[in-house]
Amino acid sequence: MSRFLSIVRRDLHLAFRQGMDSMMVVAFFVIAVVLFPFGIGPQPNTLARIAPGVIWVAALLASMLSLERLFQADYEDGSLELLALQQVALEITVMAKVTVHWLTTGLPLIIATPLLAVLMNLPEEGFRPFLIALLLGTPTLSLIGAIGAALILGSRRGGILLSLLVLPLYIPVLIFGVSAVDAVIGGFPATPQLLVLSGLLVGALALCPWAGAAAVRQGIE
């Protein structure tokens, strides 16, 4: 646990020193959502109907912007090899980096979501399940993305390859995240969808650090 926290502190310090990455992610998220009312018109009913899907897709794409740098900086300066050679399991290192990615990407997106939901005229009853779904779904996106980021280590044009690797795996999170809000707006409980998102998160917590560590080992050999 002490090693996990030390890696988290180190990466958070580096992230705050290079704060433009997190700001760009949030800026992309906000701009992508704000453009939709200009493109389809300001009709409240239309915006309310598409709001959950638009915000979820924008959050999904925004979370991918910083995935390529999840391991790349440490790979380029040799720090990743040192981390892999230490006695601490590499899975802990992967989990620490995923935690930092969520704190600097997923959490700011969740904080910005209520304002965008108001802009998109999302019904009031959809706010709570929307935030819960994002709290469950965005860590899963970071965990899945870590596998893709590890697989592209050392590859050229890794950003395009990363998108092809992780986007299909993001689809279940997107489907159940949107349907949770749609269910509540339609008068149905969102419990089934939120339970599925919880199950996806638990499965990702169990499998993704192990798979990401295996991909990192392969990338540095």
Over residues 19-77, the pLDDT tens digits come to 667 788 889 999 999 988 888 877 888 888 888 999 999 999 998 888 877 887 777 77
Assigned token pair, 24: 């760009």
Q: So what's the pLDDT on residue 37?
A: 85
Q: So what's the pLDDT on residue 83?
A: 74
Q: So what's the pLDDT on residue 70?
A: 81
Predicted TM-score of the model (pTM):
0.89
User: Which residues lie closer than 8 Å to 170 by C-beta, 6 or more apart?
Assistant: 60, 141, 144
**Residue 131 near residue 190 (C-beta atoms within 8 A):** no
The continuous run of DSSP H or E covering 112 comes out as helix 107-119
As averages over each run of 10 residues, the pLDDT of the chain (221 residues) reads 79 75 86 87 83 92 84 75 75 89 91 90 89 94 91 74 88 94 90 95 93 84 69
Q: So what's the pLDDT on residue 180?
A: 93
Q: So what's the pLDDT on residue 2?
A: 75
**Residue 213 near residue 94 (C-beta atoms within 8 A):** yes
CA dihedral 19, 20, 23, 28 (to 10 degrees): -150
